[in-house]
């Protein structure tokens, strides 16, 4: 299958030139994805959808390389990823086609450059962490919550008088941020079993993330991961837009923006929409597949959103 991708930097720019070129290259109109996005860090939901749709043996068709990559590094990494997945690339105006020996050679060069770049990043990161540890500093992303806010969130949660959504609203952070800090307070100890006599322990449930396979290495990480995995994320099936896929993510593979939180009016809990589903919901419109999914799951949609526990 030929899948086309066209991009311009703003909504008032015209994609007709790119679309016409893709049509002349025999790309079906229904398989052409158009993106209005600019900037190296801009969200590109259509590109994400294209990458989800591509299967082994398919070919991605674009007019120029700069329409595809956010940066040189992103372009090199993306080219290597397509090669590893068995997906072809055809760049119309620059004569790159992996169906030819020259095109395959170009893909091979992209793969080598990507591997070299990854090795540089790993080496630089290792050296930086070693230097930081020698100076008594810890690595990692700074927490969005201060120690006092984490303590407050834990107290409110333990008191069972506020939902996680209400606590997140008080602290003005996403719900998943609060989930990630619960049960991390120093001094929280596991309650020992009072059962006497020998007993056969229950089989230990897997703690690994079903999406990326991440396995927590400490109790604190395991507690945090369990809370993260308790949240259902709704994704659009790339092969069937009318079908939704429910996934559970740990903090390492949690989808980035856009994301939209569907919250029950009473308890504040509910699934989170990702990608194109979130884009539609941000326009105050829940798509028909989302409404159908919620209804099937027992939600009431009007006049207020109510989860099955509060219908």
pLDDT band at 19 (very low <50, low <70, confident <90, very high): very high
Distance CA 184, CA 62 (A): 48
Report the residue count for the chain. Answer: 311
Reply yes or no on whether 193 is catalytic. Answer: no
Per-residue pLDDT at 23: 94
Burial code (b: 16+ CB inside 10 Å, e: under 16) for 34-65 equals: ebbbeeeeeebbbbbbbbeebeeebbbbbbeb
Q: Average the pLDDT over 11-35 and give the result.
A: 88
CB 231 within 8 A of CB 176: yes
Distance CA 112, CA 117 (A): 9
Of 148-152, 162-166, 191-195, the range with the highest mean pLDDT is 148-152
Residue 39 backbone class (left: φ over 0; alpha: ψ -120 to 50; beta: rest): left
Residue with the bigger pLDDT between 167 and 40: it is: 167
Distance CA 116, CA 108 (A): 12
Distance CA 30, CA 120 (A): 40
99-to-18, 63, 105 alpha-carbon distances in Å: 21, 16, 10
Tell me the DSSP string of 121-182.
Answer: HHHHHHHHHHHHHHTT---SPPPSS-HHHHHHHHHHHHTTSS-HHHHHHHHTS-HHHHHHHT
Above 60 in pLDDT, residue 41?
no
Per-residue pLDDT at 22: 94
Residues 190-233 have pLDDT tens digits of 333 333 444 454 444 567 888 888 888 877 777 777 877 888 88
Structure tokens that stand for 136 in this block: 């008594």
Residues 93-135 have pLDDT tens digits of 878 888 888 877 876 676 576 667 667 777 777 777 777 677 6
Average per-residue pLDDT for the chain: 78
Looking at 9, 71, 146, 240, which residue is catalytic? 9
The pLDDT > 90 percentage for the chain reads 12
148-to-68, 153, 161, 211 alpha-carbon distances in Å: 44, 9, 19, 32
Q: Average the pLDDT over 135-163 and give the result.
A: 76
Is the CATH code 3.30.530.20 the one for domain 2-113?
A: no
Strands of the sheet with 88-91, listed across from one edge: 32-36, 2-8, 59-62, 88-91, 96-97
Q: How much of the chain is helix, strand and coil, in % rounded to 5?
A: 40, 15, 45
- For the chain, the structural domain boundaries read 2-113, 147-180, 220-297
Residues 292-302 have pLDDT tens digits of 888 888 888 88
Structure tokens that stand for 22 in this block: 């893709």
> What are the contacts of 295-303 at 24+ separation with CB within 8 A?
299/264, 299/270
Residue with the bigger pLDDT between 190 and 290: it is: 290
Strands of the sheet with 272-274, listed across from one edge: 240-247, 233-237, 272-274, 259-261
Give Cα 120 distance to the centre of its chain: 25
φ and ψ at residue 30, rounded to 5 degrees: -70, -15
């Amino acid at each position: 299958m030929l899948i086309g991708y066209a991009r311009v930097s703003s909504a008032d720019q015209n994609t007709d030139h790119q679309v016409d070129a893709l049509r002349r290259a025999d790309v079906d109109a229904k398989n052409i994805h158009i993106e209005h996005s600019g900037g190296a860090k801009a969200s590109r939901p259509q590109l994400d959808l294209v990458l989800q749709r591509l299967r082994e043996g398919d070919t991605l068709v674009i007019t120029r390389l700069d329409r595809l990559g956010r940066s040189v590094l992103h372009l090199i990494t993306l080219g290597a990823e397509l090669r590893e997945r068995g997906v072809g690339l055809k760049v119309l105006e620059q004569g790159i086609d992996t169906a030819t020996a020259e095109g395959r050679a170009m893909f091979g060069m992209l793969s080598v450059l990507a591997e070299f770049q990854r090795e540089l990043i790993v080496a630089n990161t290792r050296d930086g962490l070693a230097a930081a540890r020698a100076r008594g500093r810890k690595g990692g992303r700074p927490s969005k919550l201060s120690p006092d806010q984490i303590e407050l969130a834990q107290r409110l949660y333990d008191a069972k008088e506020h939902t996680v959504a209400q606590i997140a609203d008080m602290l003005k952070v996403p719900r998943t941020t609060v989930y990630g800090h619960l049960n991390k307070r120093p001094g929280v100890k596991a309650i020992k079993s009072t059962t006497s006599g020998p007993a056969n322990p229950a089989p230990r449930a897997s703690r690994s993330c079903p999406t990326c396979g991440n396995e927590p290495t400490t109790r604190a990480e395991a507690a945090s991961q369990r809370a993260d995995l308790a949240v259902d994320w709704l994704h659009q099936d790339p092969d069937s837009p009318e079908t939704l896929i429910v996934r559970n993510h740990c903090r390492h593979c949690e989808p980035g923006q856009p994301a939209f939180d569907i919250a029950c009016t009473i308890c504040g809990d509910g699934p989170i929409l990702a990608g194109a589903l979130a884009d539609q919901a941000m326009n105050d419109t829940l798509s028909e597949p989302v409404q159908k999914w919620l209804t099937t799951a027992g939600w009431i949609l009007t006049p207020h959103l109510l989860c099955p526990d509060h219908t």
